[in-house]
Homo-oligomer: A and B are copies of this chain.
Amino acid sequence: MFAEAEADPTLSREAFKKEETRLRTALVKSQYAQLQAGERALLIVIAGIDGAGKGATVNLLNEWMDPRHILTQGFGAPDELERQYPPLWRYWNALPAKGRTAIVFGSWYAPLLFEGARKRPDTDRLDALAASIRRFEDQLSANGVQILKLWFHLSPEAQKTRSKRLLASPETAWQVLPEDLLVQKHFDRLRESGHHAISRTDRPHAPWVVIPSADDNMRAVSAARAVLHALRRGAVRVPAPSPTPADAGARRSGRRDVLGKLDYRGSIDKDDYEDRLGVLQGRLARALRDPAFRQRALVLAFEGQDAAGKGGAIRRVTQALDARRYEITPVSAPSPHELLRPYLWRFWRRVPRQGRVAIFDRSWYGRVLVERVEELTPAAAWKRAYGEINDFESQLVGHGAIVLKFWLAISREEQLKRFREREKSPYKTFKITQDDWRNRRKWPAYLGAANEMIARTDTLAAPWRIVATDDKRLARLQVLEHIVERVEKALGRE
């Protein structure tokens, strides 16, 4: 894999000059074609041996292409803010819009490369890290982000020579960083770790290219050629992802019609309701003030038919919350700006930090509900979404979040009653539109989609709670009770 690069090939100045003109012209042309098509983004991952000239190459790419359409970002060890989110959060935030290019230093490969370079790597951890990277890259590739990964490599001797040459002159000495000088000592382990990472994550839709880096001309031309090739080639089909550990956790895959058998009876009287509501709100408020919650987070997703009472249920929850600690995100059709990124991007942006609560009034499940039923998205995309969603939620849970999902189910008769009430009320008519009546006519299609959604995404880590809401008060208590019990259990307050 590295033999060619470690032979330290060179390129003459004349050959370089000739290639430069050709490559720059082609790069700019391809970049503009990509921008105009607006169908794919290009994400370039920069990795390799320290002191191989990675930084210089990134600067060169910014000079050879139009830098106004390139987003260059570097990541170090996660800082105190980044540690409050799941590890991939910062990379989701950095995704380029369709048509654009992003260059990423210090990427999601850092933990894998670091573990692989240890004296005795933990192979279970290596497997888990590589699998998580593959899932992440699969999801991006399938969602319009093309991935190219460059590994800058050279022989240990050339690395040493390069650092020495730079150190010899005050104009360049500052370019040599302490980590560059450590490379010599551990070269074999770094090479081994790179080899392992590349062989585990090199796939046709997210390929690695090794860049021979001992010679500046050769390095520049090789990197530019790889980028040009990526810009020019068409989309590569991403194979259907294998089930994730989170998918395997789906508990009730046998139960395909859980919503069909729901019991909508049951009610509670008003005084009883008021008392129990206050008590549950008090328990929730106190649980979230528990210092143990500062290391956790709470994610609540509300789905359900129109008029099932999502808004009312959410208000009963927020009454118990500290206004400085929660955020409600009402979810509707994605904006043009959101359509330029992978589907889950806009939800990643609203993930809560540690100690906070994020409430979604409708959620990322829109893709397998309204987008599926109304045929707003191709079948391949919503079918893929179950796995992507399970992976998303398992990352939140893996980072300490409590993720609870509610399906508020209303009977068809009760919905009709509420629609009519809304039409009559002077201050509720805004809640009822032609869309609601249209959706109602598609009741079986929506119910079928919801049934399949629940079957496929009711995981142990992030379970669904189905609540019949024909009696609004009872439903609100059940929602609150479920939250309280789950939160108290997670914080060890039982």
With a cutoff of 8 Å between Cβ atoms, the chain B residues found around residue A174 in the complex are 281-282, 285-286, 320
Q: Is the CB of A323 within 8 A of B58?
A: yes
Q: Is the CB of A76 within 8 A of B324?
A: yes
Partner of A170, one of B278, B426, B427, B431: B278
A32 to B426, CA, bound (A): 14
Residue interface mask A291-321, B partner, CB < 8 A = 1: 0000000000000000000010011001110
Q: Is the CB of A55 within 8 A of B323?
A: yes
A490 to B430, CA, bound (A): 57
A170 to B279, CA, bound (A): 6
A325 to B105, CA, bound (A): 11
Using known A-B contacts A277-B171, A278-B170, determine if residue A318 contacts B59 with beta carbons closer than 8 Å.
Answer: yes
A25 to B422, CA, bound (A): 12
Q: Is the CB of B74 within 8 A of A324?
A: yes
With a cutoff of 8 Å between Cβ atoms, the chain B residues found around residue A173 in the complex are 282
A322 close to B (CB within 8 Å): yes
Q: Is the CB of B28 within 8 A of A430?
A: yes
A304 to B53, CA, bound (A): 32
Partner of A426, one of B25, B59, B72, B275: B25
Partner of A74, one of B74, B175, B322: B322
Q: Could you tell me the distance in whole angstroms from the C-beta of A147 to the nearest C-beta in chain B? A: 19
Tell me the chain A residues, 319-338 only, with Cβ under 8 Å from chain B.
319-320, 322-325, 327-328, 330, 332, 335, 337
Interface window among A60-68, A135-143, A255-263: A60-68
Residue interface mask A35-68, B partner, CB < 8 A = 1: 0000000000000000000011011001110111
Q: Is the CB of B311 within 8 A of A67?
A: yes
Q: Is the CB of A324 within 8 A of B105?
A: yes
Chain A interface: which size bin? 35 or more
Q: Could you tell me the distance in whole angstroms from the C-beta of A317 to the nearest C-beta in chain B? A: 11
Q: Is the CB of B171 within 8 A of A275?
A: yes
Q: Is the CB of B28 within 8 A of A323?
A: no
Partner of A66, one of B25, B56, B278, B430: B430
Interface-centre pick from A64, A274, A323 (highest chain B CB count, 10 A):
A323
A45 to B285, CA, bound (A): 24
CB-based nearest B residue for A312: B63
A21 close to B (CB within 8 Å): yes
CB-based nearest B residue for A276: B171
Tell me the chain A residues, 412-444 only, with Cβ under 8 Å from chain B.
426-427, 430-431
A471 close to B (CB within 8 Å): no
A169 close to B (CB within 8 Å): yes
Tell me the chain A residues, 332-355 only, with Cβ under 8 Å from chain B.
332, 335, 337
Q: Is the CB of A278 within 8 A of B324?
A: no
Residue interface mask A169-200, B partner, CB < 8 A = 1: 11111110000000000000000000000000
With a cutoff of 8 Å between Cβ atoms, the chain B residues found around residue A324 in the complex are 74-76, 105-106
Tell me the chain A residues, 118-140 only, with Cβ under 8 Å from chain B.
none
Partner of A105, one of B55, B81, B323: B323
Q: Could you tell me the distance in whole angstroms from the C-beta of A414 to the nearest C-beta in chain B? A: 21
CB-based nearest B residue for A314: B67
Interface residues of A (CB under 8 A from B): 21, 24-25, 27-28, 32, 55-56, 58-59, 62-64, 66-68, 72-76, 80-81, 105-106, 169-175, 274-275, 277-279, 281-282, 285-286, 311, 314-315, 318-320, 322-325, 327-328, 330, 332, 335, 337, 361, 426-427, 430-431
List 24 A-B pairs, Cβ < 8 Å: A21-B426, A25-B426, A27-B427, A55-B323, A56-B319, A59-B315, A62-B315, A63-B315, A72-B323, A72-B328, A73-B323, A74-B323, A74-B324, A80-B80, A81-B81, A169-B278, A170-B278, A170-B279, A171-B275, A171-B278, A174-B286, A175-B285, A335-B337, A337-B337
